[in-house]
Structure 1
Amino acid sequence: MRSNSTGSSSSFKEEDLKKQTSSPSSASSAVDSRFNQTLRSVHGLLKGRSFPGKILITRRTDPPDDAILQSPNSNRSFSDYDSESSERIEGSMQDEHQTRSISSINSSFSKMKTSTSLPENLSKEVQKAPVGARATDSARLMKFTKELSGTTVILDNLRELAWSGIPPYLRPTVWRLLLGYAPPNSDRREGVLRRKRLEYLDCVAQYYDIPDTERTDEEITMLRQIAVDCPRTVPDVTFFQQAEVQKSLERILYIWAIRHPASGYVQGINDLATPFLVVFLSEHLEGNIESWSLADLAPEKISDVEADCYWCLSKLLDGMQDHYTFAQPGIQRLVFKLKELVTRIDEPVSKHMVDQGLEFLQFAFRWVNCLLIREIPFNLVTRLWDTYLAEGDALPDFLVYIFASFLLTWSDRIQKLEFQDMVMFLQHLPTQNWTHLELEMVLSQAYMWHTMFKSSPSHLAG
């Protein structure tokens, strides 16, 4: 987990936050001008240091410029389907001062969690880094190399590195470790993966590759629902429209549902399987995701990928079982906490939403159900999930802060909308042009608020 050594000055009282977020309108311009400076200070102080005095948090009225929005790990190397975002980030960080700033943020923001298994020849993988990679790329790469090359991976160290982003070619290995699917001990890793993949194959033969006459009516209904949902999964990415991809998703989801009868299949779980499918396929397919085809893979490779997806999806959902049981109480609880948190951080926008009669469940239920997969460009999802998986068991608690940060990105605009327009806006947020910069800002602000509130848990009581 994150360091608890932020110092006594970071233990903010609820009263302080109320005073800060409810300042008179006459001071709003001065407050906004101080926001960017405050956020930069926080970036530099996140790694176990005390905050200098009190941190002033408020809404921003204008989008920060690229120079201020330097993300904690925006200069890392991306996969091919991240390349467009990477180029846009590179263009905003040319001078030496900016490079030093990013390096500082990288070192301070790498404060959360990580874990996984090492590729066969890591030295070759390191050479895959882009020619233009900066020193901070190499430094982070060497840290990952050191953590993954030991006989036993220290998961806490790996989580700290992974929180602020994982190099794409190390992501499959790190994700398996973070989720506890692959053991930290390298001597046991290959054997465990082989055994779990064979177990998945046995499940496919026992539950999936059978005629409908051997299924119950409930199982037939569930399989049909999965078959309907798979073509709807990530519709804007043509890779997921391939019949072979949809069949793999169908097998994974059906086996999971059969082996988890307390919840069975629930719409939204199909979205949660997609990041795993893309990440584990990236070990076998190269180039842009839109050029991938499962026809290029041997059946045994596809089976291994499906098995890894199944077991990692199971590990993820083990920590949020009540999100998908009857009435989905876990999701409703998180949405309630989100409403409470937004009220404390940004009372004006919260009051406006209440005055317009907008319920948080009307837009936030999907956010929690699909963990924001449907709200941001798919090429950013794996980066977001680096942080999710690095959070480990604390993920459900931290999700509230991510959702609050995501919502309040649009605070000023929301306050200008009436009910109907507000509902439409929140269900179709304009994130299609987002890059890693905007995502890193959401994550850093979520971390900052979590740091401020974690010593005052009563702010979410009730």
Structure 2
Amino acid sequence: MEEGQEAHWEVVQRILFIYAKLNPGQGYVQGMNEIVGPIYYVMASDPDLSNRAHAEADCFFCFTALMSEIRDFFIKTLDDAEGGIKCMMSRLSNMLKSKDISIYNRLKSQELHPQYYSFRWINLLLSQEFPLPDVLRIWDSVFSDEKRFDFLIKICCSMILIQRDAILENDFASNVKLLQNYPPIDINVVLTHAVSLA
């Protein structure tokens, strides 16, 4: 870092602070940093220095635009709304039930509710589940899809289906650990599987 230049975390902190001030009804909610981080990384590492010079402003714009679509995930009173987090988890659960009733029944019998693992998956757009290059690949796929959050649900469902054998064999504690700390995997396997889900 050049002398006198701000640390990246300071820029991200300012973006979140300004966003919270401009959106007092929502403010800052834990996890927003996980959403802004990958966006800022892409902007701040642009090979074109003239683009990189505007990384903060560009990141703020993109973060604000994205938050306008996922705002309901971060407002507790909207959890039950159509775009709210409970609705999204319910859609994932229903998709899993229609794709593999055995896994669905296994998780249900263990009382391993979707909120134990998929709340974070959906709320943070999988940003904590995979290494940054994989997160960027996932986001490219999700954001290029017209029904992007339908595709996010398909990715989440695929993550569960790919672990079928382990889930059917594991006890409750092992399944919680598996789903909360998703094992390393080639992200293209997950995305290809998600595309195959009609």
TM-score range, shorter chain: 0.7 to 0.9
Q: Quick one: distance in 1 between partners of 2:18 and 2:160?
A: 35
2:26 match:
263
Distance 1:380 1:337 in 2: 24
Q: Is contact 1:320–1:396 with CA below 8 Å preserved after alignment?
A: no
Q: Which runs of 5+ in 2 are unaligned?
A: 1-5
User: Does residue 26 of structure 2 align to residue 250 of structure 1?
Assistant: no
- 1:384 maps onto 2:138 in alignment: yes
Q: Looking at both structures, which has the greater relative contact order when contacts are Cα pairs under 8 Å and sequence separation is at least 6? A: 1
Measure how far apart 1:327 and its partner are. 4.3
In the alignment, structure 1 residue 320 sits paired with structure 2 residue 70: yes
1:415 aligns with 2:172: no
Residue 357 (structure 1) aligned to one of 81, 98, 111: 111
Does structure 2 conserve the Cα–Cα contact (< 8 Å) formed by 1:341 and 1:404?
yes
* Post-superposition CA distance 1:126-164 (Å, at most 9, x none): xxxxxxxxxxxxxxxxxxxxxxxxxxxxxxxxxxxxxxx
CA distance in 1 between partners of 2:108 and 2:133 (Å): 34
1:446 equivalent in alignment to 2:194:
yes
2:86 is aligned, of 323, 328, 332, to 332
Question: Does the 8 Å contact 1:338/1:400 carry over to 2?
Answer: yes
Q: CA deviation at 1:448?
A: 2.1
Tell me the TM-score normalised to structure 1 length.
Answer: 0.39
Secondary structure of 2:76's partner?
coil
* Structure having the larger proportion of residues in helix: 2
Q: TM-score, normalised by structure 2?
A: 0.87
Give the Cα–Cα distance (whole angstroms) in 1 for the partners of residues 24 and 164 of structure 2: 40
Q: Give me the whole-angstrom Cα distance separating, in 1, the residues matched to 2:131 and 2:18.
A: 28
Query: How far does residue 398 in structure 1 lie from its aligned partner after superposition?
Result: 2.1
- Structure 2 Cα separation of the partners of residues 273 and 405 of structure 1: 25
Give the counterpart letter for 1:353 in structure 2.
L
Residue 430 (1) aligns with residue 183 (2):
yes
Aligned length: 189
Q: RMSD of the TM alignment (CA)?
A: 2.1
Q: Is the 8 A contact 2:46 2:52 kept in 1?
A: no
CA positional deviation for 1:359: 0.6
Q: Name the SS of the counterpart of 1:415 in structure 2.
A: helix
Q: C-alpha separation between the residues in 2 aligned to 1:379 and 1:447?
A: 19
Find the aligned partners of 2:78 and 2:116 in 1 and give their Cα distance. Answer: 15
Q: Deviations over 1:361-389 (max 9, x none)?
A: 01110001111111111121211111122
Kindly report structure 1 stretches of 4+ aligned residues shifted beyond 2 Å.
Answer: none
Q: Which amino acid is the alignment partner of residue 348 of structure 1?
A: S
Q: Pick from 348, 353, 359 the counterpart of residue 102 of structure 2.
A: 348
Q: Deviations over 1:299-337 (max 9, x none)?
A: x955x2111111001111212221111245111110011
Shift of 1:261: 2.3
Q: Secondary structure at the match of 2:145?
A: helix
Aligned partner letter, 1:384: I
Does 2:50 match 1:306? no
